[in-house]
Amino acid sequence: MKVLVVGAVAGGATALARLRRLDEDAEIIVFERGGYISYANCGLPYYIGEQIKNRESLFVSDKDTIEAKYGVEIRLNSNVESIDRERRMIEVKNPETGEVYEETYDKLLLSTGSSPFVPNPAWLDQTRVFKLWTIPDTDSIYEFVVSYAPKRAVIVGGGFIGLEMAENLSDRGVEVSLCDMADQVMPPIDKDMAKIVEVRLAEHGVHLHLGNGLKDIENDGTRVVLADGTAIETDLVILSIGVKPNSQLAEAAGLELNARRGIKVDEFMHTSDPNIYAVGDVIGVQDYILGGEVMIPLAGPANKQGRNVAENILGLGQKTCDGTLGTSVAKIFDMTVASTGASEKSLSRAGKVYGKDYHVSLVHPMSHAGYYPGATPMTIKLIFADCGDVLGAQIVGYDGVDKRIDTISTLLHFHGKVDDLTNLELAYAPPYSSAKDPVNFAGYAAENILVGFAHPIKFSEWEADKDKYVLLDVREEIEVLASPVDGAIHIPLTKLRDRFEELDRDKCYVAFCAVGLRGYIAERILRQKGYDAYYLLGGHRTMKTLTADISKIKAHQGADAAKVDTSQEKLAVNSVRAENKTVAIDACGLSCPGPILKVSDAMKALETGDKLDVSASDPGFISDIGSWCQNTGNTLLETSSDGGSYHAVLQRGVSCDASGVCEAPGSSCEESVDTSCTPKEKTMIVFDGDLDKAIASFIIATGAAAMGNKVHMFFTFWGLSVIRKHQPPTVKKNFISGMFANMLPKGSRKLKLSHMNMGGMGAKMIRNVMKSKDIASLEELIRTAIDMGVEMTACQMSMDVMGLTKDELLDGVKIGGVATMLNNSDKSNMNLFI
């Protein structure tokens, strides 16, 4: 059998390999109009952004390798000009030589793919205007960026390629504007989920012009004019408006096309000609959920179609392609966006009605157990039918999004129901998930809706008929301070049962909290007490996202961190200190309101001018902390984000800088009546290794730290025993060093009293007395000191003399010498030798 394959990037390349594996004797010839075969076109934007450093990494294989491996013939730079179906023959032209020839076939496979849609091809004649689809396109853009170092770029189109290019150009320091005729980015997902992505794009400095399509490109690509007349000056333009199937060859041959000009095929990949098959972007596929023909240009389905069609071409079986879910995932800066199955948009086009034909659950779970470091939130939108069938899902988040969408996609493939989601047994360990996985949570929320235990209302429903409902804010007081909602009645969930008398049974309430769970609990309480109540789907987080004004969002990426003064009033100058401590707290893994509550607790222990350095994984933290500062009279100095981690530096009240100038306008430290810019630092040299003196040292250190002092503790000679590990690791030493080390007490638990030690009985008695009187032990004092930021330094010279190494000391202890101690002493207003 002689098989010709036209196109060899995705589906065609997979098909030729499968054809050879199944039939060693078949004659297989592949025609590719470009100069490359089997390359990673999905990776092209990342090469331009230098995430992929080596150009050769883009090539899955090459002509010589495939020919040698599979025994096929590959003809590059070969345009198939026409198909003669009667004679089973194609006409081929080599554009380099002009040679035209014919080639016969027994079976023909079309894998001609798709091409970027360019409304006006003349735009591409301008030197600064590009499209991105092939290796030559990539090379042109890369060379331009490297050679001309553009400062500004306009991306036309907010789909996968457009957003990936926006990210990669932005990462190269280019100021990016993105425009799209549609009123959202990421066409496969619904508008409410796309808004999360849009907010993140704006936070990374991308200027969005949505619902405002391209009108013209002028001045050799240096000026882009939008539909409303807006003109954007630029150095580079990337057109990524969408794709169209390369079906011209099939159309000229008389093969049947669909309404979008894709080649019509059956479940076996037959075209309307039984000897011609087609796969990939060029064909129409069946919507796996809703039925009907759709165009889904994705590499995954194309490769599976290529594998299946090989058996059918050779007559070895009847492998079917039953449809496509359109499962997709994309990286947008540090965010991951994924979808599978039906969306609300596709359901609406199919005539389905929300609340009647389908329902939606919306949850904001963490990627893994919140108590394990690195947990980040995700938003899961699950769409399901009234009968319980799962129809589709969309997820936006950071870590673990891909595996959750794959889980739901697998369930969709096997026609799973909401009950199946609640009962899925998924792998669990704290670094990877929670005992109840986010997918389970999405199922629980959906199940509650189906059985009538939960009555959600979408933000759009409430917004369309605000007068019908009364908003009931069940968040805690501190959360409301961070982000108040106008017109809402505030009754914390914890007090709701005691304050029913404040509610009117003739009114309809929409309860909401931060992310939805407490709102749902409030709705359950109210309904069981006879009130008409609903809960807001997605809670305040969704409300805040959907009402965000993209044009007013300031970028807070890396070095471009926003610096904002949010103090409400000028504080008294005599309350300001020149040197203030900085306390770092880690709120990562805590979902809203956890980070704000932790900040509030920490701030209570600070004095005016002290700083709080906060890390969190909740995306809403950056905006919430600004509002919280505005409502509490504190100052937000800096915000930034990096890879799903959010960072803020706060200051209690106002502060002086190093020169003595205060944040408050017109004031300075010289104007202070009773407070100078003298630094509040304390230095302690701990020479002795006795238990009682060590306890005194750390009581003084923690007390000073609690009063806002920066405390330095310098341990030397016998004092090194205090900060030695109780079970130090085995370290190879010479005889003298080993002898000294063995004579030293191994950690604070082995220390003796300076007086009345009585062979160790005195030390034990002191510890028992301290325990009976609820006084912190030395070990607890050491941990507290570390937690409070007390700086502990071990003398390097003393360590050498005493035969100790850094590995034998407590974690967090620094190594230094006399210069370090003297430098700290110079900055301190108190020095102690113990």
3-state secondary structure 53-72: CCHHHHECCCHHHHHHHHCC
Residue 489 CA: distances (Å) to CA of 512, 569, 799: 10, 27, 63
What is the Cα 643 distance to its own chain's centre?
6
Does 238 score more than 50 pLDDT? yes
Q: How confident is the model at residue 614 (pLDDT cuts 50, 70, 90)?
A: very high
Interval 139-149: pLDDT, tens: 999 999 999 99
pLDDT band at residue 669, thresholds of 50, 70 and 90? very low
Strand, coil or helix: what is 376?
coil
Amino acid 364: pLDDT = 95
Quote the DSSP letter at residue 812. T
Bridge partners of residue 243, in order along the sequence = 116
Q: Is the pLDDT of residue 766 over 50?
A: yes
The CA distance from 730 to 745, in Å, is 15
Contacts (Cβ under 8 Å, ≥6 apart) of 529: 500
Instruction: Domain 118-241: give its CATH superfamily.
Output: FAD/NAD(P)-binding domain (3.50.50.60)
Look at the domain 2-115+245-314 and name its fold. FAD/NAD(P)-binding domain (3.50.50)
92 pLDDT higher than 90: yes
Angle between helices 539-546 and 191-203 (to 10 degrees): 70
For the chain, what are the domain ranges? 2-115+245-314, 118-241, 334-453, 457-550, 554-671, 681-833
User: 44 is written with which tokens?
Assistant: 């092209």
Percent of the chain with pLDDT over 70: 93
pLDDT exceeds 90 at position 117: yes
Q: What is the DSSP letter of 388?
A: S
Rounded CA-CA distance 209/177 in Å is 7
User: What one-letter code names the amino acid at 461?
Assistant: E
**Per-residue tokens: 467:** 């007068």
Q: Two tokens at 819?
A: 């210069």
Residue 592 has what pLDDT? Answer: 63
The tens digit of pLDDT for each residue in 675-694 reads: 344 457 899 999 988 998 99
Structure tokens at 224: 């882009």
Is the pLDDT confidence value at 544 over 90?
Answer: yes
Query: Hey, CA dihedral for 777, 750, 694, 807, is it positive or negative?
Result: negative
CATH architecture of 554-671: 2-Layer Sandwich (3.30)
| pLDDT greater than 60 at residue 650 | yes
State the chain's mean pLDDT as an integer.
Answer: 88
Please tell me the distance from the alpha carbon of residue 251 to that of residue 5, in angstroms, as a whole number: 17
Is there a contact between 548 and 195 (Cβ–Cβ < 8 Å)?
Answer: yes
**Please, which residues bridge with residue 661 across strands?**
668
CATH of 681-833, one of 2.160.10.10, 3.40.1260.10, 1.20.1080.10, 3.40.50.300: 3.40.1260.10
Confidence of residue 657 (pLDDT cuts 50, 70, 90): very low
CATH superfamily of 457-550: Rhodanese-like domain (3.40.250.10)
Please say if the pLDDT value at position 548 is more than 50.
yes
Q: Which CATH number fits domain 334-453: 3.50.50.60, 3.10.510.20, 1.10.4190.10, 3.40.50.10860?
A: 3.50.50.60
pLDDT in tens, 773-805: 767 889 888 988 888 889 999 988 888 888 888
Question: Is-same-fold flag (2-115+245-314; 681-833)?
Answer: no
Span 330-375, pLDDT tens digits? 999 999 999 999 999 999 999 999 999 999 999 999 999 988 888 8
Confidence of residue 654 (pLDDT cuts 50, 70, 90): low
Is residue 57 scored above 70 in pLDDT?
yes
**Residues 197 and 337: beta-carbon distance below 8 Å:** yes
Note the pLDDT of residue 677. Answer: 42
508 catalytically annotated: no
